Amino acid sequence: MYDVNSKCPDDFINHEEILTTLAYAEENKHNEALIDSIIEKAKKRKGLSHREAAVLLDCDIEEKNQEIYKLAEQIKKDFYGNRIVMFAPLYLSNYCINGCTYCPYHMKNKHIARKKLTQEEIRREVIALQDMGHKRLALEAGEDPVHNTMDYYLDSINTIYSIKHKNGAIRRVNINIAATTVDNYRLLKEAGIGTYILFQETYHKKSYLELHPTGPKHDYDYHTTAMDRAMEGGIDDVGIGVLFGLDKYRYEFTGLLMHAEHLEAAFGVGPHTISVPRLRHADDIDADAFDNGIDDDTFAKIVACIRIAVPYTGMIISTRENQKCRERVLHLGISQISGGSRTSVGGYCEPEPEDERSEQFDVSDTRTLDEVVRWLMEMDYIPSFCTACYREGRTGDRFMSLCKSGQIQNCCHPNALMTLEEYLMDYASPETKAIGDKLIDREILNVPNLKARAVVEENLRLIRENNRR
């Protein structure tokens, strides 16, 4: 067995242990008694080990799979209620010196237009995002020590937090940038980032080395231990993920859960979020050339099994997925989605001319934020623009202990309703506002404490009268 306290990737992402797990899961995929006992354990909502979760992922007894989906849906409701956190990516720069074979930013790609936003351009992009109603961003950039320096990121974060425009303000800036040093993570923390996000891409070391043939990202060990350094640098919300399609999904699923177990054991807090991106077509990249793509059913099963295995961890889905697929996995465990996204550098202000394309991958869900918000509310979800936890310092283990105790809903539900009402007043189309107001009126009745309910009702009344506190 691997040592969960180790900071050496060969120990915590142990190849032999993954192979043993996969063999065990394969052997037991029809073992009804074992599957029942794992489902019973999962019902306690304390999570599962990677071995147990791998058995559920492989389980091919239809009736048991239906139980797994039902349980995932219930756990999602218990921990997150019907709130869905909204965010948008903001691409700062696509300069990159890596050679990742699946990513259009790769250094040899000569026809992608290379762009890096100036602070003034960032201002314009952020105002465009604020005008849609966004409050939460995920910054994205390639890896280039000359163009994309830490000072550039710190300036950009400062710029973003300082922009106040009408009623808009970005209240939480997450960041997805290359693995870096403890000192740099400390600087990012001091600049006030929310979550540090870094996808492993693949946990399979041999494939990783082939898929990242050149550039600093080639260093599997440095990349895999990034979250350890981030935690050492004081960042307590980290977001992990793999890019499904690069290697075999069973291997990636197991590696992902071992990574989460390692962070929990070593730092007392698991990942804040898990992302489940799937490989997409992109400039100079033919996703069909990668033969590990997964179908929508397998994808849904992965989401459900992650939900059950780490019930307290947020799960993110991006606009890489289309409306139908997003709808399915929202029920099974996703708690955060992006809306109205552009993956090009500068894409929120101006559409790019055909010969100057800079985007990272093709977006599948091209709806506006207003359309995504309306769609969520039509399914009785509450799109949440709330960032109160982060603002009040409930990050890392403080957030996790609230979430694990099931209490997070008591403070999140009212906050989500109030921030949704602000969104509806400031940004929504009349049709979306009408649907939203009805939803909020229904949902107020789900605030259990009568005193708290009265406070929320009063606040909502003030927001609706444009008289905010």
Question: Which residues are at the interface with ligand SAM (CB under 6 A)?
Answer: 102-103, 140-143, 176-178, 198-199, 201, 217, 243, 277, 279-280, 282, 285, 320, 360-361
Nearer to ligand SAM, 42 or 188 (CB): 188
For residue 281, count CB atoms less than 10 angstroms from its CB and return exposed for 0-12, middle for 13-18, buried for 19 or more.
exposed
- Residue 46 burial (CB count, 10 A): 10
In the complex, the smallest distance separating the C-beta of residue 341 from ligand SAM, rounded to whole angstroms, is 12
In the complex, the smallest distance separating the C-beta of residue 178 from ligand SAM, rounded to whole angstroms, is 4
Residue 466 backbone class (left: φ over 0; alpha: ψ -120 to 50; beta: rest): left
Nearer to ligand SAM, 289 or 450 (CB): 289
Q: Tokens standing for 456?
A: 């929320």
For the chain, what percentages of helix, strand and coil (3-state, to nearest 5) are there? 50, 10, 40
Please tell me the distance from the alpha carbon of residue 88 to that of residue 319, in angstroms, as a whole number: 10
Nearer to ligand SAM, 102 or 348 (CB): 102
In the complex, the smallest distance separating the C-beta of residue 241 from ligand SAM, rounded to whole angstroms, is 7
Please tell me the distance from the alpha carbon of residue 249 to that of residue 297, in angstroms, as a whole number: 13
Please tell me the distance from the alpha carbon of residue 179 to that of residue 101, in angstroms, as a whole number: 18
Q: Tokens standing for 253?
A: 């699923």
Please tell me the distance from the alpha carbon of residue 314 to that of residue 307, in angstroms, as a whole number: 9
In the complex, the smallest distance separating the C-beta of residue 35 from ligand SAM, rounded to whole angstroms, is 32
In the complex, the smallest distance separating the C-beta of residue 283 from ligand SAM, rounded to whole angstroms, is 9
Nearer to ligand SAM, 132 or 177 (CB): 177
Nearer to ligand SAM, 201 or 261 (CB): 201
Nearer to ligand SAM, 44 or 108 (CB): 108
In the complex, the smallest distance separating the C-beta of residue 429 from ligand SAM, rounded to whole angstroms, is 30
Nearer to ligand SAM, 276 or 420 (CB): 276
In the complex, the smallest distance separating the C-beta of residue 198 from ligand SAM, rounded to whole angstroms, is 5
Nearer to ligand SAM, 100 or 424 (CB): 100
In the complex, the smallest distance separating the C-beta of residue 191 from ligand SAM, rounded to whole angstroms, is 17
Nearer to ligand SAM, 103 or 263 (CB): 103
Does residue 314 sit in helix, strand or coil? strand
Does residue 396 sit in helix, strand or coil? helix
> Do residues 277 and 103 lie in contact, with contact meaning Cβ atoms separated by under 8 Å?
no
The residues that bridge with 241 in the sheet, in sequence order, are 275
Tell me, rounded to whole angstroms, the distance of Cα 424 from its chain centroid.
Answer: 24
**Dihedral Cα 357, 362, 364, 370, nearest 10 deg:** -30
Q: Tokens standing for 117?
A: 């936003």
In the complex, the smallest distance separating the C-beta of residue 169 from ligand SAM, rounded to whole angstroms, is 24
Q: Give backbone dihedrals phi and psi of 193, rounded to 5 degrees, phi first.
A: -70, 155
In total, the chain counts a number of residues equal to 469
